[in-house]
Structure formats: C-alpha cells, structure tokens
Amino acid sequence: MPKRKTTTAAKDIAKKKKVEADTKMAETEKYYEARGILQETTTQYLIDWAPDSDTGEEYDPSWEPKENANQLLVADWNKFKEQESQKKSARKKSPRGEAVSRETSAT
C-alpha cells in the first residue's frame, strides 16, 4: 500500500502549530541577570546570579552550559582571567628579596 502524501493544507497547519508553540515558549521564557562568572570547566560556567529585580529573591551560584552565557558576561570573564594571568606573571618576574652578601673582615 503506497504512503499517503501530505497535503499542502496539512503542512500549513503543522507549520502554524509549530510557530504558535515557539511563540508561546518565547513569551514564557524568563531571563535572569548575572553578576559574573566565578569558575569555568570545559563545558560549563559557575554563574553568580543577581537577585530577582521583581521579588528581591536571592539565587545561589549554579553551573550552567557555556551556550547559556551571553557574550558580555563571557567577555568580562575572559578579561578577568587575562588580568589574573598578568598579575601572576608579574609576580614571577619580580625579584624576591635577593640575598645580600656581606663580607666580614677578619682582623
């Protein structure tokens, strides 16, 4: 028995339902403000969340997939890491209290 072909009207209805579902999901999706990134793994960031602006509710930091972090947040994190790296390399280059040799004269 041959397969039934989907009619254009059926395709249009399916497309319309998908668009409606996507629209509803976008309307209910809530974004949370982050203070910054605290740590990083290969696939995740530990994000420090700001309190909810509507309720004032505090949120604990949580591990989130890297794709969930916005570009500004990641740029700030990368800038912070670069500054920390420069501080560490500057400490390594600076002399640490070099030993002063004293000559004692024997009389």
d(CA 96, CA 90): 12
Q: Torsions phi, psi of 105, nearest 5?
A: -95, 130
d(CA 57, CA 79): 29
Residue 59 lies in a domain: yes
What is the count of structural domains for the chain?
A: 1
Residue 9 lies in a domain: no
pLDDT value for 47:
96
In this prediction the pTM is 0.58
Judged against a pLDDT cut of 90, whether residue 30 lies above it is answered with no
Residue 10 lies in a domain: no
pLDDT value for 95:
63
d(CA 85, CA 79): 10
Residue 54 lies in a domain: yes
What is the per-residue pLDDT across 38-63, written as a single tens digit (0 to 9) for each? 999 999 999 999 998 889 899 999 99
Average pLDDT over all residues of the chain: 78
